[in-house]
Amino acid sequence: MNKSEVMIETVDLQKYFKDLHVLKGINTKVTRSEVVAVMGPSGSGKSTFLRCLNRMEEPTSGHIYVEGIDIMAPYIDINKVRTEIGMVFQSFNLFPHLNAIENIKLAPMHVRKISDKEATERGMELLDKVGLVEKALAYPEQLSGGQQQRIAIARALAMQPQIMFFDEPTSALDPEMIGEVLDVMRRMAKEGMTMIVVSHEMGFIKEAAGRILFMADGVIVEEGTPDEIFNNSQHQRTQDFLSKIL
């Protein structure tokens, strides 16, 4: 496994919503095991950027390469590509008609076609990893927000993805639950998972992120290590934003 292998690359990524120019040419690369934090004021396009990377949102133009494959190419099997990219949402989006372990094993069984028994075993290991083995049979409505989000992470990990996307994973959580979710994410970062995280959790970013992309008005204004961005920002936009959230 090559540490500098490029997992995701975007070339001049553009996105319009009708007349609204949301992404104005994004060029960046994410290499294996890198943890990239995407920050920026609301409306800067950071969530749209992330959602374009697995074509959850259809980009208007530009190129996206996932493990070297141009996923904007016509007739590409995007479902197959998405199995390599785990995604965690702000609103958890667990399937309410399934319990925790069923949520986790649904995709491995139906997409990866592994047996129920094997999927259950691996699912239980993941539940153990996020500290929720005892909630295996609980339904989402019986779980707290923090627990739901940890199950959602386990569900994404069950597909054994190469890359994980986090779209504001702690924004919908009560303050006392943020820690338990960030702990799980921290551990994943340490284990070498390639991660792109849209978040403003400063503590987590300082500790776990290798690089910050600071976005505003649909462009990457500035990028650098947490130290460079937080302590030595070169741009007025970045400084203004940081002064508001610090």
Partner 1 sequence: MTQDNNSMETPSRLADVKAKVGQIPLIRKSQFLYSYLAFLVVYGIFLLPSKGSPSPVELIIVAIYFLLAIVWAAIVFSDELKSNKLKTAIAFGILILLGWLYYMYSTARWSEMSQLFFNVEVIRKAWPYLVRGFWTTIFLAIAAAIISTILGLLLAVFRSFNSPVLNFFIVLYVDVFRAIPIIVLMMVIYYAFPFMNIRLSAIMSGIVALGLNSSAYVSEIFRAGFLSIKKGQIEAAHALGLNAMQTMRLVILPQAFQVVIPPLVGNYVASAKDTALASSISIIELLKAGLAQKSLLANPSPLIFVTVLYMVMFVPLTQFSGYLEKKMQSSRRQVNV
Annotate each residue in 57-96 with x if it binds partner 1 (CB under 8 A) or - if it does not, as one string: ----------------------xx-xx-xxx-x-x-xxxx
CB nearer to partner 1: pick between 41 and 161: 161
CB nearer to partner 1: pick between 113 and 117: 113
Q: How far apart are CB 108 and partner 1 at their closest, in Å?
A: 9
Residue 153 in contact with partner 1, rule: CB under 8 A: no
Helices (H), the chain: 46-53, 78-82, 100-110, 116-129, 145-157, 175-190, 202-208, 226-231, 236-245
Q: How many CA atoms lie within 13 A of 57 on its CB side?
A: 19
Binding residues for partner 1 restricted to 201-220, rule: CB under 8 A = none
CB nearer to partner 1: pick between 81 and 242: 81
Q: How many CA atoms lie within 13 A of 197 on its CB side?
A: 30
Query: Could you tell me which of 221, 225, 195, 230 has the C-alpha nearest to residue 210?
Result: 225
Q: How far apart are CB 106 and partner 1 at their closest, in Å?
A: 6
Stretch that binds partner 1, among 19-27, 104-112, 128-136, 203-211 (CB under 8 A): 104-112
Annotate each residue in 110-139 with x if it binds partner 1 (CB under 8 A) or - if it does not, as one string: xx----------------------------
158 within 8 A of 123, measured Cβ to Cβ: yes
**Cα separation, 66 vs 2, whole angstroms:** 15
Q: How far apart are CB 50 and partner 1 at their closest, in Å?
A: 11
- Sole binder of partner 1 in the list 69, 76, 107, 202 (CB under 8 A): 107
Quickly list DSSP for 143-170: S-HHHHHHHHHHHHHTT--SEEEEESTT
**Cα separation, 118 vs 89, whole angstroms:** 26
- Residue 103 identity: N
Q: Is 42 helix (H, G, I), strand (E, B) or coil?
A: coil
Q: How far apart are CB 46 and partner 1 at their closest, in Å?
A: 17
Stretch that binds partner 1, among 24-32, 117-125, 148-156, 183-191 (CB under 8 A): 148-156
Count other C-beta atoms under 10 Å from residue 173's C-beta.
21
CB nearer to partner 1: pick between 96 and 192: 96
Residue ranges in contact with partner 1 by CB under 8 A: 54, 56, 79-80, 82-83, 85-87, 89, 91, 93-97, 106-107, 110-111, 141, 152, 155-156, 159
